Structures are given as structure tokens and as C-alpha cells.
């Protein structure tokens, strides 16, 4: 674990060049990064996470010019990029046939997910390494996403089987939930994953968008799943109960807004006592981790309004509460 000094960034770049993995902060969550042009490094990302299926990964790039080396941007993509890059927006775009990217990054699809992050340390790493960086969230498959460097170390106590060379440690992630994933590879824009850039904001630019009805529809195998079936993800060790009006004596309570009249809860935390959705998103994953304690029997979560950033928070919470495999 190193603060993002010039020396650490140089070490991180060398590690990426050598096919090793580096964990780094983005404005959303910490990413587990590898050289997106290196098949073995990309395969190592899947192996380190213990991802059962080869879900495609997001390629992180420093700017629009770099994006256009790998993906085809149309007018819609340019408009969204102008407004929201650098920032927590991922676009799924047609992949250039000559893109110097591992095929595994797209999991065999003819599209690629690209994003230009805003976090200064992510930007510094992209500049220093000069490589496209493939990065899912830096957690074991199915677990709660990391929003602080210590979470990454907890997820990979053995350094991902020696694959993870370095954690660039730079405090807490300001947004706290993963980027909005918008598919612009077809005729109609489709929201594949809600995030801090809301459907309303996207529709103000592009007009009506479709919303993926099946959670996890971004995954290529999603079509095989029963519609409406929730995939367990973002799951703490304890069971999660939603829309709680109170908590049992041996439950933890995760509140939102005023919670004075909510009874129970051996441990209590509040995502945002004032009911601020930005604050709630930034606290979500860290508070789920803190409440995930032995001796408790579950985490009861109060209702979060299903508007704006609340859509992204509820998407993550529903999966945290989904039946475990």
C-alpha cells in the first residue's frame, strides 16, 4: 500500500508494463487494474477476483482521443463525453476491429466499455503508464465494492495470489457507487447500470433511453437468465433486509434520513441523517462493511427513495439482498 507519490506511480507503471495488477482509486470505487492490451494480465484480473464467468471489463483511458483509438464514437457518444468526461460514465461502444486490446476485455463481444475517470490518481496512473487500463472493482467476485484502500487489502490478503503488485492508496472514493453504464452500440441507448449520472440527466441530452429490465443485463450471459431474477452481488457476509421499519435486537440498522423513531439495532449507522443521496452513496459500501460483524444476524436497511442517485443505491442494495448462490 503506497500513497500516490511520483515514485509509487513509476512503480505502478512498471508493474503494469510487466503484466502485473495495480489497485488504484477512481472517483467511484477502487479498481483492480491491468494492461488492457495484455491477454495474460486481463486473465489474471478474472483469476484474482475469482470471477466465475468472463464478464467484459471497462477500459480506462486518459481522454477522448485515446478512446477513439479503440472505439467508434458517434454524435451521441461525443455529446455524452463532452458533458461527463472525465467522470463516472462508462459508454459501451462498437470496438474498432484493429483495437490493440485483449479480446478477453470484451469477452468476445464486438463492443468495448470505455471510461475516462476523473480521480487525479487514476489520471496520473493513466498518464504515467501510457496504457489502456482494464479495471473492475477491486473486490473478490460478489463481494462489497471497495471505497477505501483498506477494503482492497481486506479483499486480497494474499495480494491476489501474488498478482497484485501494489495498492495506490489515496483515501476514500468521493462518489462511492460504480459508474453509470450506458450502451450506445445500438440504435437505441440502453442504461445497463444506474450510477451517479442519472437517467434524467442522460435523457436531457439523448432523449428517451431504455433501461435494462434484467439486473446485470450488461453481462453477455444475462439473456439466459429468467427475467427479473436478481444476481447476488455487493453482498456482505450477513443477510441484508430492505425497507426496514425497525430492526431486531441482534440486527444491525443501516439508516437513511431521520431514524429517531426506528427501534432496535445492536449497531446503528446512518447513510445520511439529512437524507442526502450523494452522501448516502459515498457511505454505502463502507457502512455495509462496518456493519458486517460476527455475532449479528443481519443488516436491516431503511427505505431509500428510488429517484436520481437513489436508483443506483437501490440497485446495489437489491443485489446485496438477493438470494445467495
Contacting positions for ligand TXA (CB under 6 A): 26, 28-29, 31, 55-58, 90, 92, 106, 109, 111-113, 115, 135-137, 178-179, 181, 192-193, 218-219
Q: Which residues are CB-contacts of 9 (< 8 A; sequence separation ≥ 6)?
A: 124, 125, 128, 168
From ligand TXA, Mg ion, none, which one binds at residue 109 (CB under 5 to 8 Å depending on kind)?
Answer: ligand TXA
Q: Which helix (H) or strand (E) holds 268?
A: strand 267-270
Cα 115 from chain centroid?
12
Q: CB nearer to ligand TXA: give 87 or 255.
A: 87
55: partner contacted, choices ligand TXA, Mg ion, none (Cβ within 5-8 A by kind): ligand TXA
Q: Give the one entry of ligand TXA, Mg ion, none that residue 155 binds, where binding means its C-beta sits below a cut-off of 5 to 8 angstroms depending on kind.
A: none
Q: Closest separation between CB of residue 117 and ligand TXA, Å? A: 6
For 232, 288, 293, 298, 321, the CA distances from 240, given in Å and listed in that order, are 11, 9, 13, 6, 5
Min dist. Cβ of residue 84 to ligand TXA (A):
13
User: CB-wise, 57 or 124, nearer to ligand TXA?
Assistant: 57
- Measured between alpha carbons, how far is 176 from 173 in angstroms, rounded to an integer? 6
Q: Provide, rounded to whole angstroms, the least separation between the CB of residue 233 and Mg ion.
A: 7
| Closest separation in Å from C-beta 242 to ligand TXA | 21
What lies within 8 Å, CB to CB, of 40 at 6+ separation is: 19
Measured CA to CA in angstroms, residue 325 lies from 5, 233, 291 at distances of: 41, 10, 22
Rounded to whole angstroms, the Cα distance separating 310 from 281 reads: 8
Q: Of 38, 102, 106, 137, which lies in the binding site for Mg ion, with binding defined by CB under 5 A?
A: 137
Q: Which does 28 bind (CB under 5 to 8 A by kind): ligand TXA, Mg ion, none?
A: ligand TXA
In the bound complex, what is the minimum distance in angstroms from residue 216's beta carbon to ligand TXA?
7
Residue 89: which of 190, 196, 172, 161 has the closest Cα? 196
Which residue's entry shows cell 504515467? Answer: 128
Q: Could you tell me which stretch among 51-59, 122-130, 132-140, 157-165 binds Mg ion (CB under 5 A)? A: 132-140
SS3 for 172-225 is: CCCCCCCCEEEECCCCCCEEEECCCCCHHHHHHHHCCCEECCCCCCCCCCHHHC
Give the nearer residue to ligand TXA in terms of CB position, either 29 or 313. Answer: 29
Set of cell numbers at residue 161: 495470489
User: Which listed option, Mg ion, ligand TXA, none, makes contact with residue 283 (CB within 5 to 8 Å by class)?
Assistant: none
- Per partner kind, with CB cut-offs from 5 to 8 A, the member of ligand TXA, Mg ion, none near residue 26 is ligand TXA
Nearer to ligand TXA, 57 or 262 (CB): 57
Letters for 180-199 (x = contact with Mg ion by CB under 5 A, - = none) are --------------------
- Return the number of the residue (215 or 310) whose C-beta is nearest ligand TXA: 215
Compute the distance between CA of residue 25 and CA of residue 184 in angstroms, rounded to an integer.
Answer: 26
Residues near Mg ion (CB under 5 A) are: 137
Amino acid at each position: 500500500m503506497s500513497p500516490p507519490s511520483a515514485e509509487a506511480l513509476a512503480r505502478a507503471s512498471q508493474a503494469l508494463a510487466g503484466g502485473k495488477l495495480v489497485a488504484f482509486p477512481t472517483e467511484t470505487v477502487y479498481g483492480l487494474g491491468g494492461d488492457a492490451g495484455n491477454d495474460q494480465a486481463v486473465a489474471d484480473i478474472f483469476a484474482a477476483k475469482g470471477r466465475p464467468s468472463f464478464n467484459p471489463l471497462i477500459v480506462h483511458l486518459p481522454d477522448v482521443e485515446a478512446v477513439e483509438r479503440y472505439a467508434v464514437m458517434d454524435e451521441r457518444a461525443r455529446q455524452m463525453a463532452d458533458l461527463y468526461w472525465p467522470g463516472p460514465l462508462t459508454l459501451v461502444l462498437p470496438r474498432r476491429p484493429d483495437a490493440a486490446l485483449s479480446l478477453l476485455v470484451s469477452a468476445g463481444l464486438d463492443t468495448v466499455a470505455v471510461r475516462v475517470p476523473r480521480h487525479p490518481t487514476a489520471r496520473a496512473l493513466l498518464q504515467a503508464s501510457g496504457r489502456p487500463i482494464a479495471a473492475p472493482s477491486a473486490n473478490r467476485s460478489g463481494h462489497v465494492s471497495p471505497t477505501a484502500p483498506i477494503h482492497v487489502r481486506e479483499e486480497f490478503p494474499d495480494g491476489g495470489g501474488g498478482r497484485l503488485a501494489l495498492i495506490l492508496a489515496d483515501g476514500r472514493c468521493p462518489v462511492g457507487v460504480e459508474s453509470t453504464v450506458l450502451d450506445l452500440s445500438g440504435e437505441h441507448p440502453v442504461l445497463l447500470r444506474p450510477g451517479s449520472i442519472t437517467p434524467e440527466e442522460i435523457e436531457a441530452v439523448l432523449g428517451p433511453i431504455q433501461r435494462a429490465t434484467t439486473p446485470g443485463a450488461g453481462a453477455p450471459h444475462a439473456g439466459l437468465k429468467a427475467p427479473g431474477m436478481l444476481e447476488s452481488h455487493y453482498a456482505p457476509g450477513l443477510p441484508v433486509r430492505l425497507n426496514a421499519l425497525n430492526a431486531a435486537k441482534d440486527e444491525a440498522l443501516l439508516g437513511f434520513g431521520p431514524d429517531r423513531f426506528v427501534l432496535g439495532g445492536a449497531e446503528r449507522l446512518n447513510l445520511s441523517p439529512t437524507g442526502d443521496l450523494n452522501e448516502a452513496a459515498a457511505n454505502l459500501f463502507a457502512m455495509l462493511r462496518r456493519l458486517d460483524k460476527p455475532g449479528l444476524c443481519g443488516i436491516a436497511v431503511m427505505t431509500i427513495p428510488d429517484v436520481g442517485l437513489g436508483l443506483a443505491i437501490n440497485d446495489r442494495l437489491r443485489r446485496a439482498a438477493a438470494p445467495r448462490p
